[in-house]
């Protein structure tokens, strides 16, 4: 008989042998996600048996994780801004560094009762838009993504989080179909130079959608499009917050300046000290 505790030890040992940095934590997360358990179920009810079909399924998932498939892909979910998001093959896995963008946006508009109009370009799972709407209960938001699958997933996530009444998600190429102006525009665009994608970690290059990674030859293609579009998207006093890749602050600031947009000082840095979120406005 396989118990929860026994399966946890078995999978943690397999993860340790595969060289994962936090094998027990990942094993616990896999069991919780795969069996629909809470932390208490792995502590107070550790000796309960696991059905053999469930054990076999979890061992198969563990083998995929040991081979480099992201845990979030295996369980189909990821937390961002203390909210839970379902994933699709067409979406990136939301990452902690992107919370820096949300923090930068919140600092711009400290009045949480503000009736903001928010635009999220390249919305993916809808994580950024949902995080902002959760902080601004009087705001409304629009997400746009080129991928129909990503847009569908964003709609589902927003609805499950109770935000469908204040949001909409459409399929489109950046802001080409938009004829409105917004108080806040946010975007985490693809910014990896095409030549660098092959050198990314296996978890990223083999499991994240290339459409959400590939920023063109120099990684700046999306920023060129955004810089050209932003002057027509922002209301007077409006702000845009863009996520940056490593070492891109100077180049992106130059593209924005050439389009008549001023950076509001240095980019906000993430917990690793990387310039991660640049804030801009019409000059």
Give the pLDDT of residue 100.
Answer: 97
Q: Which two tokens stand for residue 65?
A: 């994780």
Is position 191 annotated in a ligand binding site? Answer: yes
pLDDT of residue 75: 86
Q: What are phi and psi of 76, to 5 degrees?
A: 80, 15
Q: Determine how many CB atoms are found less than 10 A away from the CB of residue 39.
A: 9
157 assigned to a ligand binding site: no
Task: Return the pLDDT at 33.
Answer: 87
Contacts of 230 (CB under 8 A, 6+ apart): 185, 240, 256, 259, 261, 280, 282
Instruction: Please give the C-alpha separations between residue 171 and each of 124, 154, 271, in angstroms, as whole numbers.
Output: 11, 11, 32
How crowded is residue 230: how many other Cβ atoms within 10 Å of its Cβ? Answer: 26
> How would residue 7 be classed by pLDDT, with cut points 50, 70 and 90?
very high
> Is the pLDDT score of 44 beyond 90?
no
Q: Is 22 labelled as part of a ligand binding site?
A: no
Q: Say what the pLDDT of residue 68 is.
A: 87
Q: What is the pLDDT of residue 11?
A: 94
Percentage, residues of the chain above pLDDT 70:
100
pTM for this model (two decimals): 0.90
Is residue 207 predicted with pLDDT exceeding 90?
no
Per-residue pLDDT tens over the stretch 222-250 = 999 999 999 999 999 999 999 999 999 99
Does 125 belong to an annotated binding site?
A: yes
Question: How would residue 142 be classed by pLDDT, with cut points 50, 70 and 90?
Answer: very high
Q: Is 232 part of any known ligand binding site?
A: no
Domains of the chain: residue spans and CATH: 4-75 (1.10.8.10), 77-282 (3.40.50.150)
What mean pLDDT is reported for the chain? 94
- Flag whether 141 is marked binding: no
> Which one, of 254, 182, 195, lies nearest residue 223 by Cα?
254
Annotated ligand binding at 124? The verdict is yes
131 in Cβ contact with 81 (< 8 Å): yes
pLDDT of 169: 97
Of residues 76 and 152, more confidently modeled: 152
Which bin fits 157, alpha (ψ -120 to 50), beta or left (φ > 0)? alpha
């Amino acid at each position: 008989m396989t118990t929860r505790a026994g399966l946890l030890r078995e999978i943690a040992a397999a993860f340790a042998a595969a060289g994962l940095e936090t094998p027990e934590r990942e094993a616990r997360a896999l069991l919780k996600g795969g069996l629909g358990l809470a932390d208490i179920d792995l502590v107070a009810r550790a000796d309960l048996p696991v059905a053999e079909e469930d054990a076999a399924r979890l061992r198969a998932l563990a083998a995929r994780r040991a081979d480099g498939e992201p845990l979030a892909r295996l369980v189909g979910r990821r937390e961002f801004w203390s909210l839970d998001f379902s994933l699709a093959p067409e979406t990136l896995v939301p990452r902690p560094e992107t919370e820096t963008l949300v923090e930068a946006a919140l600092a711009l508009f400290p009045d949480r009762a503000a009736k903001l109009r928010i635009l999220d370009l390249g919305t993916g799972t809808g994580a950024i838009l949902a995080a902002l709407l959760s902080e601004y209960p009087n705001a409304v938001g629009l997400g746009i993504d080129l991928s129909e699958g990503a847009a569908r997933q964003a709609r589902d996530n927003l609805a499950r989080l109770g935000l469908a009444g204040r949001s909409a998600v459409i399929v489109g190429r950046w802001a080409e179909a938009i004829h409105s102006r917004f108080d806040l525009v946010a975007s985490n665009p693809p910014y990896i130079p095409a030549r660098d994608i092959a050198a990314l970690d296996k978890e990223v290059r083999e499991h994240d959608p290339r459409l959400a990674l590939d920023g063109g030859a120099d990684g700046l293609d999306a920023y060129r499009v955004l810089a050209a579009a932003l002057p027509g998207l922002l209301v007077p006093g409006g702000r845009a917050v863009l996520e940056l890749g490593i070492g891109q602050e100077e180049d992106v600031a130059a593209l924005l300046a050439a389009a008549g947009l001023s950076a509001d000082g240095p980019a906000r840095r993430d917990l690793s000290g990387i310039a991660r979120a640049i804030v801009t406005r019409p000059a």
